[in-house]
Structure 1
Amino acid sequence: MNIYETIKNIRATCDNYIDPDLLSFIIDDDNYMGANNILEINGYNIKDNDTYEERLIKIHKSENIFLPCGMITFIPILNECDIFSTTDYNLKLTQEEFDEYSENEEKLFGILIKKDSTDYKIGKTDVCNCSVSASFNEFKKIDGKFYKKIEEIINNKIIY
């Protein structure tokens, strides 16, 4: 994966679900969410004239980063999931899929890129890092519409 180009690609199309300047989150090794205002972070050998992508690449050498590719919201009773990304989707889920993936709150979905690598996990985070318990959770891969659609969206965002 070309992380720089992937960041650029996601930032160019993310304004349906998140502010492009608040796109990424730092995720600690215990999967808790850290800062997401990359333009205000100091250290990491960041220079004032570095672009968003350059700053994030420098941070990534020492930190795990989460790049949202969209937002999900679940509708109980109907067993539906609305997915907001570059394109919006409405999925009718089986009871098993709904029970596995549903949340009471909106969540961001995307990729957690492990520090200083191109290894990534597909999962979800809270919409903001304002809660002490805000964290990243990897999706369990089960055969069904939901995971396939999330994986398809992510694969279209990653640049190799």
Structure 2
Amino acid sequence: MINVYETIKNIRATCDNYADPDLVATVIHDNYYMGSNNICELDTFEIKNEDNFEERILKILKHENIFLNCGMYAFVPIINECDIYSTTDYNLKLTQEEFEKYSHEKERVFGILIKSNSSEFIIGSCDLCGCSIDAAFKEMEKSDLDFYKKIEEIIDTKIIY
């Protein structure tokens, strides 16, 4: 089981390269559609002004799923590459199989979805902009392909057990 408080703290401490620390978490409804990513302005779930960011997330997590952003990726079609932006940036040359499997997603943020009222998590991605009516979380299918392995490796460095 992950230590949710320390994981949130760790992600926020290292996310300056790819995300605003106050926008690193997004509410994800049970149907996987995106809710608010402005955690600092939420005033439901018994959140108090004096609660720090991590405390706010823990209060929300009792009722909603939370997605924690660990980076973003973008695919480059002609040369079958994927640029991954996180604490460290990566440029992956993908096989044709990998490119066909993942490139339809274009640009997305990736990270973990922590299920409500638990410390269970799923690796996945969300739309870059939550303003679209169909913006949603999508679970990543586990695989032995380099793209998935790199995403998993990046996430493993951010999670505190």
TM-score, normalised to structure 1's length?
A: 0.97
Shift of residue 106 of structure 1? Answer: 1.8
Aligned to 1:131: 132
**1:6 maps to 2:7:** yes
Separation (CA, whole Å) in 1 of partners of 2:33 and 2:159:
23
Aligned to 2:53: 52
Q: What secondary structure does 2:133 align onto? A: coil
Number of residue pairs the alignment of both structures matches: 160
Shift of residue 103 of structure 1? Answer: 3.6
Q: Could you report, residue by residue, the CA deviation over 1:52-107 in whole angstroms, capped at 9, with x for unpaired residues?
A: 11001100010000001001000001110000000000001111111111146421
Q: 5+ unaligned residues in a row in structure 2: which ranges?
A: none
1:1-160 residue pairs with structure 2 within 5 A?
1-103=2-104, 105-160=106-161
- Identical pairs, percent: 63
Separation (CA, whole Å) in 2 of partners of 1:102 and 1:117:
32
Separation (CA, whole Å) in 2 of partners of 1:44 and 1:28:
15
Q: Could you report, residue by residue, the CA deviation over 1:86-141 in whole angstroms, capped at 9, with x for unpaired residues?
A: 00000011111111111464210000010011111111101121000100011111
Q: What secondary structure does 1:67 align onto? A: strand
Q: 5+ unaligned residues in a row in structure 1: which ranges?
A: none
Separation (CA, whole Å) in 2 of partners of 1:103 and 1:87:
24
Could you tell me which amino acid in structure 2 is paired with residue 117 of structure 1?
S
Could you tell me which amino acid in structure 2 is paired with residue 87 of structure 1?
T
Could you tell me which amino acid in structure 1 is paired with residue 61 of structure 2?
H
**Considering only aligned residues, what root-mean-square deviation do their CA atoms show, in Å?**
0.9
Separation (CA, whole Å) in 2 of partners of 1:103 and 1:55:
34
